[in-house]
Structure 1
Amino acid sequence: MYTIGQVAKFLGISRDTIKFYEEKGLVKPQQNKGNGYRSYTHFDIYDLTTVNFYREIDLEIKIIQELRRGKSIEGIRSLLEEKEQGMLEEIAYKKRQLKKLQRVKEDCEKIKQCLGTYSIKEMKPLEIMGEIDHYTAYDEYDILKENTDNFKKAVVLTSLRRVIRFNDEGILEEQFIITRKVEDDDKAIAGEIRAYPKCLYTIIEDGRWSTGGKNTDDQVEASMRKVAEEMGYELLGLVYINLLLVTYEEGLERIFLEMYVPIK
């Protein structure tokens, strides 16, 4: 017979963990009625190691309790298959999260290198998944959720592209399209694809901290025209605007926008 301290040392688990397993009925040591101390047999230790085994593969306590009450080999296999599927889905979700995290890190580097500068860059293919009237059209956000690649289907505005059409007289119209980046080996394309091999590219800062909440569309459009003229390019009259990053300064948002301006 062994004390709880000895068992904890043998198995490398805490006394509290052993007590927790006892409360859940996963191990049932004998208790001395005189002093209240519990005594553990080698069968109790075997039960604890079995619980540890199943916990290491992340089975929930309630499932281990089911096993304690009795399960056939086929029943155990079924439980494990269900757990396996859940793990595979979690791994896929974590991979997606990691990819997005890495993309945001890349966006931070883009801002550092490209803020306020102009260069020539390709706008890679985007699949058009839908359209909403405006980012403030909150009653249309269900469309945004349905067409996002976010596993949790929460509303995120980074899948939106604001498209501005303009001519020599100024801005004509705008639309907000829901997009998905098309990978090189993508075979699940169903919607319209938009891509431009040559664009005037820049990153600008917007938001109340830098603009005081004023609309700067006309200033940005005039600046792009001037740069294009200086570089000897003719614009197609389109601007694709992508939300890269939002941060805050003194409680006011700083918004960094990526802009692709197709040229002839």
Structure 2
Amino acid sequence: MRTVKQVSDLTGISVRALHYYDEIGLLKPSEITETGYRLYDDEALKTLQQILFFKELDIPLKEIKDIMSSPYFNKMQALENQKKLLILKRKRLNGLIDLINKTLKGEGTMDFREFDMSEYYNVLEEFKTEHEDKVIKTYGSIDKYNEFIEKCKLKEDEIAKAAIKQYGSIERYAKAVKNNLNNITTSSLEEQFDKFKKDCIEDKHPKLKELFKKLTTDLSKNTSSNEIQEIAKEIVNTAKKDYEFFKSDRGDDYWYYMANLYSIYPGWIEVVDKKYGSGASKFIGEVLKKCPGTKLPKIEELYNKLTSDLSKNHYSKEVQEIVHEIADETKKQHQDLKVDDGENYWGYTAELYLSNATYIKVIDEKYGNGASKFIGEALKFYSENSK
């Protein structure tokens, strides 16, 4: 056992700080003597070491306490993550030292402050503190959300460059992220989607329960047949009648994207297949997609129109008029959802179509070989000539 003074001498942490850690419940002494002296055993010192690792990463004491008191907290995993982050911090400090040395030698340098991501991370941490229930619902647990933040730190340079490209500065990007996260928590759209999905899976809507059961009785049937499409028509009409968000101005769009979940979203496919049988989700998705009540959103129609002939000049008047319509429709969508998309949204988006391997693969599969490059060049031209 060690006294507060001995722990202070060993660690360099002041006696006052150790008393404060005790007061806030961050680090309790292992034992308190009859005369009121605090004593700390080896296990308490290990906990203190863990706290100091977190402090070195500039995490506030309140959050350190929340993390370490979580039932999901894993000491060894935390050490592994802290090691990665400290290595990153060392790398960053080495970079700053190199920058100072170059400046002292009179070499040309750029302002390193524009890549300071601390404000962005503060937004993510603040969101976690203020909306813990939302974080757990979206990510599964606080630990998984913390892993997401750590992954962001591993790709810090990449995120910083993209943020500056789209928003002009990290500060502007951090404000946009905060705005968008807050709008997610105040928007009822996701809750309404979740309610519809839950009602379908848990059979809380009697009519839909009957219709989906009838639809999936035989998954070998032709999805275009009159029999199957009659059931699909009833499903669409029932959903649009009984759920308010399918009756809103963008209700048809929301229904289209909901119907698409059955075909493309792995998590939803797994749940639906478990309920109705292997292949049921994609069967339902194909059926609903063919139903006249599932209308293609305007933005999808415009992209189909844009890529209908990939041999056209991307800067031609005809192509640029379509791109202008796409920009207008996207702006309306973002305004409806209160999304801050940055001052150079289209320039940044164009680059994704031109250089992001995932974008290129998905878009080329959807619209044809070379479609991603075509869209990217069209959007880039629009971005450069519409400012």
TM-score under structure 2 normalisation?
Answer: 0.28
The structure where helix makes up a greater share of residues is 2
TM-score under structure 1 normalisation?
Answer: 0.38
The structure where strand makes up a greater share of residues is 1
Which has the bigger relative contact order, CA under 8 A and spacing at least 6? Answer: 1
- Larger gyration radius, structure 1 or structure 2: 1
